[in-house]
Structure formats: structure tokens, C-alpha cells
Chain A
Amino acid sequence: MRITEQQPGANKRFIDPASVSKRMDGRKITNTVFKTLFFMATLVALLVLGILFYRILSQGLGFLSLDFFQNFASRFPEKAGIKAALVGSLWLMAVVAPVSMFLGIGTAIYLEEYAKKNRVNDFIRMNISNLAGVPSVVFGLLGLTIFVRALALGNSILAAGFTMSLLILPVIIVAAQEAIRAVPQHVREASYGMGATKWQTIVRVVLPSAIPGILTGSILALSRAIGETAPLIVIGVPVIIQFLPSGVMDTFTALPMQIYDWAKRPQADFQQVASAGIIVLMAFLLLMNSIAVLIRNKFQKRY
């Protein structure tokens, strides 16, 4: 020990190889125990999902026919169809997608590229994330107060679309902010360094790199809007609709509303109709999520 201290540059030794190898067995056992524990947790989640899928498919597939897509709602389970709800959900998306993406991406660009880093803006940034955690019923009440009553839009596609847009806005903003932040600062500097304005830099450098991330986040947020029921109930979206909407001011119904209505009926057959509706809804969501994954994999930029 003394010699070590006298030699400059030679390090003192703190790790004793003998005691390390003595503790090795215990460390390996702990490792295995936790690995098994986490695997079991995954298994439970998968099992529940499997049962759910099995129940829904076995109940619903029988009702999934061409008629199911062509019929309106009905008192008789065998005549009940999903046409109005499916078309209604598509209409809803036609309002929600442009409104929420325009507002969400615009806000994210402002916050990331223009807003100065000060307390007020930090407070805003923080609270946008908090908004994403507000229950959807609350957004429904907000929509009821502002769009349905104050702006007198009634229970129209527009009112529901605006409400749903507000609901998913925080998620889109946060996703877009993250995508924009992931664009390295040095490519912005390259652009500014050549005399580009902020706007030119955003349009030509930042957005092209951030768009895949923004789209992925937006699509996932939109698929949440398709599945949401609570805000629609609060706004007073009807269920038994025997016509297709012809414009955004018309009333409508949507997939989750229709499924909810079928599921709460006493007749056993309607439970199966509800399952068929769920299959349609899930196929819809799966499709959107695959598009999101596709975009992410295909267009992601690497530096």
C-alpha cells in the first residue's frame, strides 16, 4: 500500500476480486428472479387481451355481414346495422383531423421555435402536458357549454368535432413539440447561417424532418378521438339515426355511441351486435395505428 502511494500515477485498488466472485451467485439469482417476475407480468397482460379478443370475435363474427354495413340502427338485432355510425365517425374525423392538427402543430411550432424561454412560457408548456390528463367528460362539458350552447351549434358534427379536437389537442401538441425538438439544433444553425429567416428555416428544414413524428403522434391521437364516448354522451349525440348526415351542421352518431347503446340493451342478441361493432371499431383503430407505424418507419430521418 505504501509503495502504491509513493508511485505517482499508480491507482489504489478498491475492488477486491475475491469478494466480488463470492457475491456473484447471489447477484445471478436476483437477476433470474426479476426476469421471471417481469415475464409473468407480460403474460398476464397478454392473457387478458387474448380472452377479450376471443370473446369479441366469437360473439361478433356471426353478425358481421354486408348487411351489417348497409343497415341503419333497428329495434331488431338481426336488422341492426352500423352504417350511420361508421359514416358519422368518418365525418367526425373529417372535422377533427384538420382542426386539431392545424391548431396542435401551430401551437407546437410557436412554443418550440418562436416563444422565448421564460417563466410564463415554461408554465404554459408544463400545463399543456397536464391538460392531456384531464378526463374526457370534462372536455365534453366544455364542448356542451361553448359549442353546443354558447355558439348554438347544437349536437352537430361540428360541435362534436370541435370538442374532440380540444380533447386530443394537448396530445398532438406534445407529440409535435417532441418531434420538433428532435431536429438537431445544428441544422437550424446551418440554415440561419445562410441568411434564411425563421419561417424559411421552419418550412424547409425543421418541418420536413419533424413531419414523420408529427404525423405519427397525430394519427395516434386521432385514433383516441374515434374511440372516445364520454364527450359525445355529454354533448347529447343521438343513437337511433335513420339517415346519413349531408353536412357538418347535421346531427349524427358515431361508432362508440352505437356500440354503447347496443351493449346496454337487455336482449342477448344485441350483445353480439355490439361485439360486431367493436370488431369494426378495432379494425378502424388497427388500420390507423399501422399507418402511423408505416410513416414512422419509412420517413424517419437519420443524422
Chain B
Amino acid sequence: MVQLMNRTENETQAAVSPLEAPVREAAKPVVYDTKQLNLWYGSHHALKNIDLPIRENEVTAIIGPSGCGKSTYIKTLNRMVELVDGVRTSGEILYRGRNIFEAKYSVEELRTRVGMVFQKPNPFPKSIYDNIAYGPRIHGIKNKKVLDEIVEQSLRGAAIWDEVKDRLNTNAYSLSGGQQQRICIARALAIEPDVILMDEPTSALDPISTLKVEELVQELKENYSIIIVTHNMQQAARISDKTAFFLNGEVIEFDDTDKIFQNPADQRTEDYISGRFG
């Protein structure tokens, strides 16, 4: 386990250094392209003219003060925001080239490609096994052997297999908050997503659990594209490749994380990351 973490750290540093070099590596393909997105809660204009291309196998961090629309934006990416009554949108979000607001687009299908991890760990009041098997089951997998394999693979993927393998049948609520959150990550992995959305996944966790989740995010980006909302700027700097700074429902600046944190183009970005407001 420890070895695994160390290796990941080294790899991360290796991956970051080319970005600092004058010649940038070729841009990866765009997974999610947001074009002129606007969103209203009733009459409240919560997202304003958002343009944001999000690339494959990168960690994109979304930062900004409370109430600036970070959660709203990330919930719009899988259309969860529509659970709120009276939400209106305009503009486009292209996921793999197709507009998710198209009348014929099935939200259920979108959400099987795009997993989500929430701010507060929210396992089902079921066993650990049933939590992980939930996604595969709703998508029609009944074979016990297949489910067993998915459960193990997902729990390993979320770096929590060793901690829970002997008690897969106990209730997920018997675990600590940090473990619950990794169960929720494993549960999202079990639907074999393409993108993982995370809304402040560590804000309810202690520092050690936070570290574990951060390391996990680093590992996961090998296979998934990750969009993570975070309140914690060191976290964004540590784990993300790109950072978008939101303020009052607008994207003020979107660039390489190093650029945002070392040499921001906008005065407001600089003020925020240097802790002058927020």
C-alpha cells in the first residue's frame, strides 16, 4: 500500500514537469465541452456564459468562494441539477461531442458514463457488497460471479479492498467517514464510468482520509477523466492538471494549475488564491 502511494507520487511529479517546460505536450482530446452555458434557479442566475473544455485523463479542479456555482456546474454536467424544481438552462454541454440537453438524450445513459461522488459520503443503508453491486445490478447484471468480480475490482480501484474484504456483508454505515467516502468512490467505479465528478469529496473528512482520497484521485486519472470541486486551494494545486476559478457564476480564469497558482492572469484569481477573499 505504502509502496503504491510512493510510486504514485513520483509519477505525479514526472507528469507535472513537462507542463513547466516551455514546450507543452500535445493537448488531450476534449471529453466535456461546455459552450455558453447559463443556468437559472427560478429567477436566480447561477451560471453565466460558462465556456469550459475539459480534457481526457486529466484532473480538472474547480475552485471559488462559497455560492459561486461550483456545485451547480458539476451537477449540470450529469443533469442532476434538474432534480431541483424550476431550473432552466441555455447553451450547450457536449459530452463526447453530443449535446446532453438534446431532447432525445437519456439522462440515465449519461449518468452511467459519468459517475458522481458527493460532498457528504452517502452510501446506501445496505451492506458494503450491495452498495458496490448497486450500479451493475440496476444495469442488469445478475450473475453472482460477475458481481463478485466487479465488487472486488471496484474496491481495489478505490484502495479500500484490504480494509473491508473481510466484512463485505456489514452495513456500510459501520465504516468511518473516510472509508465511507472511498466506498462511494468504489460504487461510482463499479458502473465503469468514463468521467468521475467529485463535489468537495474530502470536505467532511479528516486529514489522513483526505490524503488517501487525494492519492486515489491521482491513481484514477490514469483511466478516468476527473472533475473535482474543492474548497481547498492546496488540494487543487496538489492534485489537478487544470484549474477553473469560478466567481459569482462566471469562469474568471481557466488554465494549467501551475499557471493559475503561480502566475494568474486575472487580479481576482490572484486575490482569491492568496486568500484575500473567499
Contacts and interface: CB of A to CB of B under 8 A. Distances in A.
A296 B118 CA distance: 30
Contacts of A184: 122
B73 to A, nearest CB: 15
Contacts of B137: 204
A54 to B, nearest CB: 45
Contacts of B14: none
Interface in B29-83: 78, 80, 83
B125 interface: yes
B118 A200 contact: no
Q: Number of contact residues on A: which range applies?
A: 20 to 34
Interface residues of B, number: 29
A190 B184 contact: yes
B98 to A, nearest CB: 16
A195 B124 contact: no
A205 B110 CA distance: 20
Contacts of B139: 195
A302 B191 contact: no
A186 B122 contact: yes
A224 interface: no
Interface string A193-210: 111110010001100110
Q: Is the interface of B mostly helix, strand, loop or mixed?
A: helix
A192 B111 contact: yes
A209 B115 contact: no
B125 A195 contact: no
A67 interface: no
A193 B108 contact: no
B187 interface: yes
B162 interface: no
A61 interface: no
B254 interface: no
State the 10 A-B residue pairs at the shortest beta-carbon distance, nearest first: A195-B112, A195-B111, A193-B116, A186-B122, A194-B135, A301-B125, A195-B108, A196-B138, A190-B122, A200-B138
Interface of A: 116-117, 184, 186-187, 189-197, 200, 204-205, 208-209, 301-303
14 contacts: A116-B85, A186-B118, A189-B83, A190-B118, A191-B124, A193-B78, A194-B188, A194-B191, A195-B110, A196-B108, A197-B138, A204-B134, A204-B138, A209-B125
